[in-house]
Amino acid sequence: MSLSTLNHSRVAARPLKRHGALGRAIGLGLAGALATLTLATPALADKTPRQIQVQANATIDVAPDQATLNARLWERTPAQVQGEETSGNSDAIKEARDRLETRTGELIRTLENAGVDSKQIRAGSLSVRPDYMQTASRGEDSAPPKVRTQVERSVSLTLNELDRLPRVLDALTAAGVDSLDGVSYGLQDSNAADDRALEQALERARQKARMMAKTLDVDLGDVVNIQETTAPRYQPQMMMRAAEADSSGSSAEYRSGEISIDAGVSVIWEIDD
């Protein structure tokens, strides 16, 4: 190898040494940055929000101002031995249906005469079904099973004046309804009652939060989250209490009781520093 060639090799090798030193410096810098980031992470994790979370419930009792009644009327064809129905059965069904429609019309007119608004009366559609009759067996001589056809209609009505209830019940009895499913009491404006229950639940939550903050010697900040845990709801009450008429001939009394409405909330406040 000549001298010029050897000198050229030494000169070309110097940048490689500088590059190696630069790489080591960059590597040490990155390692230091990562170490700093790792040390800072626990400090950031310790800064959790300072909050107070409160759950509260409220129940209000409301007197109902609406009553719903459900009655049913039905007619039946003569019983026949099952499996041996005659061709005249269709005529018997038509006759039963005609009697039913007549009775339904009379019932609706009776209710209107009792002061019920015609818009509050709902007559259901016609229902036809077989009615299987149980026959008693005497030893080995058991009577063959019999069946008849029952045609039925439902009539429901809503009263917004509860003082009319006794008169309406008397009218239903006089009309000879075959079934009366009692009285269901409810509210004309259930949303207003729901709002009252929810307001009381929120007020209770605020009272609890203030008491907790005072006891722990902290200050409440802004509300950061509100959630319903129990949506306001109520079930119409099925209550009817009839008092026997006394010697003066006073009518029976019907008491609706009260409707309970529950509401629940969960509220989160910040704690001021």
State the SS3 of the chain.
CCHHHHHHHHHHHHHHHHHHHHHHHHHHHHHHHHHHHHHHHHHHHCCCCCEEEEEEEEEEEECCCEEEEEEEEEEECCCEECCCCCCCHHHHHHHHHHHHHHHHHHHHHHHHHCCCCHHHEEECCCEEEEEEECCCEECCEECCCEEEEEEEEEEEEEECCHHHHHHHHHHHHHCCCCEEEEEEEECCCHHHHHHHHHHHHHHHHHHHHHHHHHHCCCEEEEEEEEEEEEEEECCCEECCCCCCCCCCCCCCCCCCCCEEEEEEEEEEEEEEC
pLDDT at 155: 94
Separation CA 27–CA 20 (nearest Å): 11
Q: Do 210 and 120 share a domain, yes or no?
A: no
Q: Do 200 and 253 share a domain, yes or no?
A: yes
pLDDT at 235: 64
Q: Do 169 and 77 share a domain, yes or no?
A: yes
Q: CATH number of the domain that 206 lies in?
A: 3.30.110.170
pLDDT at 81: 83
Q: Do 119 and 149 share a domain, yes or no?
A: yes
Q: Do 167 and 207 share a domain, yes or no?
A: no
- Give the structural domain span for 155: 66-134+143-186
From first to last of its 273 residues, what are the pLDDT tens digits of the chain?
444 444 444 444 444 444 555 555 555 555 554 444 444 455 554 567 799 999 999 999 999 999 999 999 999 999 888 777 666 678 899 999 999 999 999 999 999 998 899 999 999 999 999 988 876 666 566 677 888 999 999 999 999 998 889 889 988 988 889 999 888 899 999 999 999 999 999 999 999 999 999 999 999 999 999 999 988 776 666 654 443 434 344 455 666 778 899 999 999 999 997
Q: Do 93 and 153 share a domain, yes or no?
A: yes
Q: Do 182 and 72 share a domain, yes or no?
A: yes
Q: Do 90 and 152 share a domain, yes or no?
A: yes
Q: Do 124 and 221 share a domain, yes or no?
A: no
Q: CATH number of the domain that 91 lies in?
A: 3.30.70.120
Q: Give the chain's domain count.
A: 3
Q: Do 177 and 87 share a domain, yes or no?
A: yes
Q: Do 78 and 158 share a domain, yes or no?
A: yes
Q: Do 95 and 176 share a domain, yes or no?
A: yes
* Model pTM score: 0.64
